[in-house]
Structure 1
Amino acid sequence: MPAYALAYQVPPAELHEEVYEYMERIQDTLDPFGGRFLVHGAPLDVREGDWPGVLVIIEFPAIEQARAWYDSPAYRAIKRLRADHIPGVLVLVDGVEPEHDSAAMAAGLRAAAQAARTL
């Protein structure tokens, strides 16, 4: 099952030179773990709420590869180049199976909530 690294970042108006270096070097840290960019700072069409930053989504074959990438010496060596200059949040998350069914998920959650209320 694929996994994702999602980053919400609020870059300054002018990027620091170290951020450019980070961008030049990050792909080499992703390659050994099968990581690839799906979204990398593209303009957002915000339909609900307020989103003043940018979005980055990186796909990995599985959560184990995502964790291994984030903890790798190669990524640790460049992480500060970004983190020192762009505030934000980064999370790792499992994706869903291709046959994911949100209606079935809702039914399971509803049943669990009803069972908890009867205790």
Structure 2
Amino acid sequence: MTKAYIVGEITVHNPEAYALYGQKVPATIAQYGGKYLVRGGTSTQLEGKAQGTRRVVIEFASRASAETWYHSPEYQAILPLRQNNSEGHLALFDGYDG
């Protein structure tokens, strides 16, 4: 089974309200078997233009696990906290199983 990765590039506009999302989301990720590989931190743009100021990479055992987490009632309940207080891009990638 190939691992899957959720990659987010986010710019937070309301840090105080976004903080509640930041507190609640880790438990939903863990509940569906995911784990953070990158959560914020310093980044250096080597090429092109960044799509956000904050980077997140979350690893799941499979694409199905990642999709189940994203569409879960637990995550959907807190998703507006992210969407209403930031803007960005979120993508799901299959891992390389070479």
Provide the TM-score with structure 2 as the length reference: 0.90
CA offset at residue 50 of structure 1? 2.2
What does residue 84 of structure 1 align with?
84
What does residue 95 of structure 1 align with?
95
Q: Could you list the per-position Cα deviations for residues 50-92 of structure 1 after superposition, in whole angstroms to 9, with x for gaps in the alignment?
A: 2252211000000000000000000000011011010001111
Instruction: Say how many residue pairs are matched.
Output: 96
Cα distance in 2, alignment partners of residues 3 and 22 from structure 1: 22
Cα distance in 2, alignment partners of residues 35 and 95 from structure 1: 14
- For the residue of structure 2 that corresponds to 1:10, the secondary structure is strand
Identify unmatched segments of 5+ residues in structure 1: 101-119
Provide the TM-score with structure 1 as the length reference: 0.75
CA RMSD of aligned residues (A): 1.2
- For the residue of structure 2 that corresponds to 1:46, the secondary structure is coil
Cα distance in 2, alignment partners of residues 50 and 88 from structure 1: 13
What does residue 6 of structure 1 align with?
7
What does residue 63 of structure 1 align with?
63
State the structure with bigger RCO (CA 8 A, min sep 6), 1 or 2: 2
Q: How does 1:5-84 map to 2 (within 5 A)?
A: 5-12=6-13, 15=15, 17-51=16-50, 52-84=52-84
Partner AA of 1:93 in structure 2: F
Considering fraction of residues, name the structure with more helix: 1
Identify unmatched segments of 5+ residues in structure 2: none
Larger radius of gyration: 1
Considering fraction of residues, name the structure with more strand: 2
**Native 8 Å contact 2:12 2:18 kept in 1:** no
- For the residue of structure 1 that corresponds to 2:29, the secondary structure is helix
The percent of aligned pairs where both chains have the same amino acid is: 32
- For the residue of structure 1 that corresponds to 2:12, the secondary structure is coil
